[in-house]
Amino acid sequence: MDKLVYNNDMVNGVSEFKHIVIAPHPEIAVAVEESKHIVTFLEDQGLQVTMGLLFDDDLRQKIVQGEFDLLVALGGDGTMLRAGHLCGPHGIPILGINMGRFGFLMEIRQDGWKDAFKRLFRGNFWYENRMMLKAEQVRGDQVLGEWEVVNEAVVSRGGIVRPVQMEVSVDGRFLATYVADGMIASTPTGSTAYALAAGGPILPPELRTILLVPIAPHLSIDRGIVLAEGSSVAIKAFSTHEAVLSVDGQPPIDLADGDCVNIRASDHNLQFIRFQDPGYFYRNLTPHMNQNPSTGNIR
């Protein structure tokens, strides 16, 4: 499988990554400061390096224009989500350096980035490809919005504490009607996020399946469902009060009564730079599960 192949595209000791962008979370001061040291280190290796903050429109435009070969994200898991939204659709690999408190998606610690870059320049790494989703809001025959999804798309109740009725179909065939606080459609990456908190199973990241997990279902199917690879999902929301769509924890989008959210595998993948062997995911499960990220502000 291509995700297991080590990369050796080195010519006279020069990395294949010619233009690297260092992107810290702007609200994590230590990440911004550490980024300056990384820029200096990489420039000393003869590389072209740019530093940009993850939420800057200028950085987004440069990524869209294909100016970078690699993005180095400094922060926590939220930082990696933001980096994924930026880089996934444009095929730019991401190297994460954990400056947050949890770092489920990040392999490199703050004190380990120099060794990681040395391994990178030797070609001693592999690309981990992770599935993304495409979600769209449909009203009648009109598509109102489209989003690329890293973790999950959630159809749920809004501010009023009443359940939403949702008609769920898989591959155009009726599955079930749910009365619940919401429905999570998750990637395998997202199976360790909101879906896990709602009682869903943990899926290995190399899978290309959609996980459906209901949130507080009332007299409805109360188990998560793992769909076959290539399946698509349609969630039609019926509510006399309020229903919303939220993608990867971003601000919610209002849904009108009868709006449908269609979800399928995206045409794009996330590419993470990895140095450990592929078994890292299982080795890290127990240490991460023994932490409680809710006790801190994970960014």
Known catalytic residue at 77 = yes
Length of the chain: 299
Buried-state track 9-36, b at ≥16 Cβ within 10 A, e below 16? eeeeeebebeebbbbbbbebeebbebbe
Q: How far is CA 65 from CA 59, 122, 215, in A?
A: 10, 28, 39
Check 9, 44, 58, 77 and give the catalytic one.
77
Quick one: tokens of 183? 């429905």
Angle of helix 77-87 relative to helix 57-64, nearest 10 degrees?
50
Question: Is the distance from CB of 63 to CB of 92 less than 8 angstroms?
Answer: yes
> CA distances (Å), 280 to each of 5, 114, 211, 237, in order?
16, 20, 22, 39
Instruction: Report the alpha-carbon distance of residue 53 to residue 66 in Å, rounded.
Output: 17
Residues taking part in catalysis? 77
